[in-house]
Amino acid sequence: MSLPDPEPTSLYAAREPIFPRRVKGSFRTLKWWIMLVTLGIYYITPWLRWDRGPNLPDQAVLIDMANRRFFFFMIEIWPHEFYFVAGLLIMAGLGLFLFTSAVGRVWCGYACPQTVWTDLFILVERWVEGDRNARIRLHRQSWDAEKVLKRAVKWSLWFLIGLVTGGVWVFYFTDAPQLAVDLVTGNAHPIAYITMLILTLTTFTFGGFAREQICIYACPWPRIQAAMMDEDTITIAYRDWRGEPRGKQSVEGSGDCIDCMACVNVCPMGIDIRNGQQMACITCGLCIDACDDTMDKIGKPRGLIGYIALTDETRERAGKLPKSVWSHVFRFRTMMYTVLWSAVGVGLIVALFLRLPINVSVTPVRNPLYVTLSDGTIRNIYDLRLRNMSGEDKWFFITLTAGSPFSLTLEGEEGAKVMVPANETYQQRVYVEAPPGSDGATEEHSEIRLWVANEDGTERVSYDTVFNGEDD
Ligand code: SF4
Ligand code: SF4
């Protein structure tokens, strides 16, 4: 007898709306301050000016795509210096590992843009529609005039925040004051409007409607974090040995948890921390504030929910005192992350100070590999790209290593020097020749070194390449 086919199971679950209640407390205050600082930095930065002289933009932070340059105050990164950007990204990654290893998902709970903008959107929602109970009532009621009006106001404000967010992002890519004028007068590049529209809609959707769904389903970090955390990582937990059995305080033998649901009602992820560690918990600390408030009201000590490491949980259960916070923060793993982070940082600073304001790259012309002139001289051709990264026009001498049996000439130039305008990349075709019958002319490959130096020889860079002789 065959069994009937099981009912097909849907992998899709509709989102249950979450209505976080307003909460006051030290973690909430900290989050407000972090929001103020992070959004302040984001919105103000494109308007900061930095004088770099007459030939360069005066925007302090600018990603200049047209000229393929990144400006960060006194630092200017050229395309061939992308390793600086890579280094900063590695530092950001290691910093994230360090903080997650020490104190769990603090990035998620306090500083992630998704968290910050969602907080802002919830704040607007509360202003317009009221606190949790009023919002639940509004959600359930039919689309009457009140609901239409409140939703229209809320969505308009969300859209405005999204628009400003997208607008500020495009200011990082070109001169902000000029772009602001162009945007208003309709003269900005279509790409600017399209980028703004995309960012407006994504901010509107992610902060307004997707919220915790982004953290749970779209972001890879909750899945990666497990590898960063261990039993000594400080994270948020419910002290069930103190809180259980939950219920009315009047009942004999009950724990400290009165099952008031305050911790659940304030949670922006809609979870119950009393069920243990969950992937959805972003460790924002709001349930701590809510529960501490309840504990104050019923005259019990604070900390039923709090920051605690797994090892301390075990100690507390056994009636012992927890270890000091520093013993959790300064561990082998966190020290290793700190050492690696510092090593990359020091490396970048050293590279920054050692770099020269000139850079050269050489591309041999391989078609043909060499040319035989009428007198038997063998000529190789190279395309030389010379970047003058200083703020003034400069003459540069192009030579071979002193005493080289080869000779060098520049296409279209009388001597061996070229003028490269300030902050520009100059391309010069170079001929290197080996006299007839010389070693260079007859050997298949010879190593040569091209030198580029400024007029007084204080800045000098070299590039090693190969000269191709007759390969008979
Ligand atoms: S359980 Fe607590 S810490 Fe975790 S997301 Fe909810 S409110 Fe934040
Ligand atoms: S806020 Fe505290 S007392 Fe209230 S349900 Fe949560 S853990 Fe229990």
Residue 363 CB neighbour total at 10 angstroms: 12
pLDDT at 3 over 60: no
What is the percentage of the chain residues whose pLDDT exceeds 70? Answer: 97
Give ∠ CA 237-238-240 in degrees, rounded to 5.
135
Residue 366 CB neighbour total at 10 angstroms: 10
Give dist(CA 112, CA 220) in Å, integer: 13
The residue whose C-alpha atom lies closest to atom 1 belonging to ligand 2 is: 291
In a domain, 116, yes or no: yes
Is the CB of 352 inside a 6 Å radius of any atom of ligand 2? no
What is the pLDDT confidence band of residue 395, given thresholds at 50, 70 and 90?
very high
Instruction: Looking at the structure, tell me whether residues 219 and 242 fall in a common domain.
Output: no
- Which residue of 114, 236, 240, 265 sits with most ligand 1 atoms within 8 Å of its CB, as the best mutation to test the pocket? 236
Instruction: Looking at the structure, tell me whether residues 212 and 114 fall in a common domain.
Output: yes
Q: Whose atoms come closest to the Cα of 266: which ligand? A: 1
Give dist(CA 21, CA 32) in Å, integer: 15
According to the model, what pLDDT value does residue 411 have? Answer: 94
Among candidate residues 226, 249, 284, the one where a domain is terminated = 226
Give dist(CA 252, CA 260) in Å, integer: 18
Instruction: Looking at the structure, tell me whether residues 210 and 236 fall in a common domain.
Output: no
Instruction: Looking at the structure, tell me whether residues 241 and 286 fall in a common domain.
Output: yes
Range with the poorest average pLDDT among 60-64, 246-250, 371-375: 246-250
The string of pLDDT tens digits covering residues 226-269 is 788 889 999 999 999 999 999 988 888 899 999 999 999 999 99
Residue 244 CB neighbour total at 10 angstroms: 14
Instruction: Tell me if 104 sits within 8 A of 234, measured CB to CB.
Output: yes
According to the model, what pLDDT value does residue 224 have? Answer: 85
Q: Which domain holds residue 149?
A: 26-84+110-226
Instruction: Looking at the structure, tell me whether residues 221 and 235 fall in a common domain.
Output: no
In a domain, 131, yes or no: yes
The residue whose C-alpha atom lies closest to atom 4 belonging to ligand 2 is: 260
In a domain, 150, yes or no: yes
In a domain, 242, yes or no: yes
Give dist(CA 372, CA 259) in Å, integer: 92
The residue whose C-alpha atom lies closest to atom 8 belonging to ligand 1 is: 284
Instruction: Tell me if 281 sits within 8 A of 105, measured CB to CB.
Output: yes
Among candidate residues 226, 253, 278, the one where a domain is terminated = 226
Closest to 211 measured CA to CA, from 126, 127, 116, 111: 116
Residue 401 C-beta-side C-alpha neighbours within 13 Å? 9
- Which residue of 282, 288, 289 sits with most ligand 1 atoms within 8 Å of its CB, as the best mutation to test the pocket? 282
The residue whose C-alpha atom lies closest to atom 7 belonging to ligand 2 is: 257
Centre of ligand 1 to C-alpha 229, Å, is: 17
Instruction: Looking at the structure, tell me whether residues 147 and 217 fall in a common domain.
Output: yes
Instruction: Tell me if 235 sits within 8 A of 277, measured CB to CB.
Output: yes
Instruction: Looking at the structure, tell me whether residues 246 and 214 fall in a common domain.
Output: no
> Which residues touch 246 (CB under 8 Å, ≥6 apart)?
254, 255, 257, 258, 259, 274
In a domain, 335, yes or no: no
According to the model, what pLDDT value does residue 227 have? Answer: 83
Closest to 178 measured CA to CA, from 164, 192, 165: 192
According to the model, what pLDDT value does residue 1 have? Answer: 47
Centre of ligand 1 to C-alpha 309, Å, is: 16
| Averaged pLDDT for residues 345-358 | 92
According to the model, what pLDDT value does residue 4 have? Answer: 59
Instruction: Looking at the structure, tell me whether residues 448 and 388 fall in a common domain.
Output: yes
Number of domains in the chain: 3
pTM of the model: 0.85
Q: Whose atoms come closest to the Cα of 262: which ligand? A: 2
Closest to 368 measured CA to CA, from 355, 378, 353: 378
In a domain, 120, yes or no: yes
Instruction: Tell me if 269 sits within 8 A of 283, measured CB to CB.
Output: no
Residue-wise burial string across 183-202, b where 16 or more C-beta atoms lie within 10 A, e elsewhere = beeeebeeebeebbeebbee
What is the percentage of the chain residues whose pLDDT exceeds 90? Answer: 77
Centre of ligand 1 to C-alpha 322, Å, is: 22
| Averaged pLDDT for residues 176-198 | 95
Centre of ligand 2 to C-alpha 262, Å, is: 6
What is the pLDDT confidence band of residue 113, given thresholds at 50, 70 and 90?
very high
DSSP 56: S
> 370: domain CATH number?
2.60.40.10
Closest to 400 measured CA to CA, from 449, 458, 455: 449
Is the CB of 263 inside a 6 Å radius of any atom of ligand 2? yes
Instruction: Looking at the structure, tell me whether residues 177 and 40 fall in a common domain.
Output: yes
Instruction: Looking at the structure, tell me whether residues 251 and 221 fall in a common domain.
Output: no
What is the pLDDT confidence band of residue 6, given thresholds at 50, 70 and 90?
low
The residue whose C-alpha atom lies closest to atom 2 belonging to ligand 2 is: 291
Instruction: Looking at the structure, tell me whether residues 180 and 244 fall in a common domain.
Output: no
Give ∠ CA 279-285-287 in degrees, rounded to 5.
90
What is the pLDDT confidence band of residue 5, given thresholds at 50, 70 and 90?
low
Q: Whose atoms come closest to the Cα of 246: which ligand? A: 2
Instruction: Looking at the structure, tell me whether residues 383 and 395 fall in a common domain.
Output: yes
Is the CB of 286 inside a 6 Å radius of any atom of ligand 2? no
| Averaged pLDDT for residues 52-66 | 90
In a domain, 458, yes or no: yes
Centre of ligand 2 to C-alpha 110, Å, is: 22
Closest to 430 measured CA to CA, from 390, 389, 396: 396
Among candidate residues 323, 346, 374, the one where a domain is terminated = 323
According to the model, what pLDDT value does residue 84 have? Answer: 93
Average pLDDT, the chain: 92
Residue type, 323: K
Centre of ligand 2 to C-alpha 377, Å, is: 90
Is the CB of 290 inside a 6 Å radius of any atom of ligand 2? yes
Residue 273, φ and ψ in degrees, nearest 5: -65, -20
The string of pLDDT tens digits covering residues 260-303 is 999 999 999 999 999 998 989 999 999 999 999 999 999 999 99
Q: Is the Cα dihedral 135, 141, 146, 150 positive or negative?
A: positive
Of ligand 1's listed atoms, the one at least distance from the Cα of 273 is 1
Please tell me whether residue 61 adopts helix, strand or coil conformation: strand
- Which residue of 259, 271, 302 sits with most ligand 2 atoms within 8 Å of its CB, as the best mutation to test the pocket? 259
In a domain, 17, yes or no: no
Is the CB of 291 inside a 6 Å radius of any atom of ligand 2? yes
Phi/psi-derived region of residue 457, left when phi > 0, alpha when psi is between -120 and 50, beta in every other case: left
